[in-house]
Amino acid sequence: MMDAAVRAFRLPDLRRKILFTFALLAVYRLASHVPIPGVDVNQLRQLFESNQLLGMLDLFSGGSLTTFSVAALGVYPYITASIVMQIIAPLIPSLQEMQKEGEAGRTRVAQYTRILAVPLAMLQGYAQATLLARQGIIQNFGLFDRTTFLPTVSLILSLTAGTMFLVWLGELITEKGIGNGISLIIFAGIVSRLPTAVGQSVTTGANWLGLVFVAIAGAIIVLGIVYMNEGQRRIQVHYAKRIRGNRVYGGTTTYIPLRVNSAGMIPLIFALSIMLIPGTVATYFQGAQTPWVANLANFVVSLFSSTRPFYWAMYFVLVVLFTYFYTAVVFQQQNLPETLQKQGGFIQGIRAGRPTAEFLNRVLNRITLLGAVGLGLIAVLPYVVSLLTGIQALTLSSTGILIVVGVILDTMKQLEAQLMMRHYEGFIK
């Protein structure tokens, strides 16, 4: 792999792409350290230690939310907009037709996603700023009254502009660099937090045996993610011969790769969001004057605490359910049976049309079971590791590891393709 990396760096165009990617990632890290005035950083860190929802959002901001910089929201609003567009596309015929128009259609969908990300960023920025203002962390912030109107507007616009700036950087990386830009920005943020977590674990006197166990568990999680991401069931497809004039078309055999984990990290994000909502909402009612409301809120907060087995059992169940749901949505958007029928392709022993769709759905449901259960086990493994080792500062984030491993594999494949085009031996053997 090192030899292939050296060869990639010797090629002028590849070297230019790699350096361009690193340069824009450096710009992103610089932007994540540009603070917004009027924020009490010490109180902000204390809040993050007690709020799980903000901790999840901080994962996608690359740690920028803990300092509440202009890049505090990260690319999370854009990711949310992308997920919303994927979910509502089957429900809106015009979007479905747009996705079938090729590159022009995908460009229009991407533009709608960017437009949707702007109000989402403004809403999310205002919600987070309101939460911080209630805790006394942000000064001169309110509901657009006479004295706080301009500070409120400037803060929301700064956060929104920071998000769209990161989206622009990500698209530049995708266009002129190596890898998927949005994923690489998230990847850079997650990796940048690792040295701090390791340092905290060492300086707080954590036992070395526990650290070794954490490292072994991390290696197991990485290995499981690699196997799931690369695992696939290949469905052989035959194309009938077609004669046009003096030429013969078709008559070839290929395959459809049905992946074990077609949903990627999306089920983990969905499940984690759902699990954090009840406890987060209940915290606002803990100080209620009505005794039964306060008691119910305390019970919900305790029940949905990340230290309770119930939380992780429900997390596992939701990951499995969302894996099936998102896989079904993505597979329906691909519309493989209709595409095969139009191109004259068929699966041996299966009639074209509806029987092909039923066969592919049946196979997909079977292999998705393995992927869903595996993804659920990866999601709850960090909890088991923390119970066995007692190490909390270096708690493994299954979502973070899944993002890191997925981005590395995708980037290596793109470099592999670039090298193979130039007749070099690639990274992956």
CA neighbor of 394 nearest in space, from 183, 189, 203, 188: 203
Query: Which pTM was predicted?
Result: 0.74
> What is the per-residue pLDDT for 172?
92
Tell whether domain 1-202 is in CATH 1.10.3370.10: yes
For 144, residues 6+ apart whose C-beta sits below 8 A from its C-beta are: 152, 153
> What is the per-residue pLDDT for 24?
92
> What is the per-residue pLDDT for 150?
78
Q: Which range is least confidently modeled, 148-162, 246-260, 339-353, 392-406?
A: 392-406
pLDDT tens digits for range 162-185: 889 999 999 999 888 888 888 888
The domain spans of the chain are: 1-202, 207-392
Over range 220-247, report the average pLDDT: 77
> What is the per-residue pLDDT for 83?
79
pLDDT over 60 at 426, yes or no: no
* Count of Cβ atoms closer than 10 Å to residue 101 Cβ: 12
> What is the per-residue pLDDT for 224?
79
Highest-scoring range by mean pLDDT, 32-46, 260-274, 379-393: 260-274
For 222, residues 6+ apart whose C-beta sits below 8 A from its C-beta are: 401, 405
> What is the per-residue pLDDT for 393?
47
Q: Which CATH class is domain 207-392?
A: mainly alpha
Domain 1-202 identical in fold to domain 207-392? yes
Between residues 282 and 399, which one has the greater pLDDT? 282
Band (99; pLDDT cuts 50, 70, 90): confident
pLDDT over 90 at 298, yes or no: no
pLDDT over 60 at 428, yes or no: no
CB 410 within 8 A of CB 427: no
pLDDT over 60 at 394, yes or no: no
> What is the per-residue pLDDT for 55?
60
Over range 30-58, report the average pLDDT: 69
* Count of Cβ atoms closer than 10 Å to residue 180 Cβ: 19
> What is the per-residue pLDDT for 206?
56
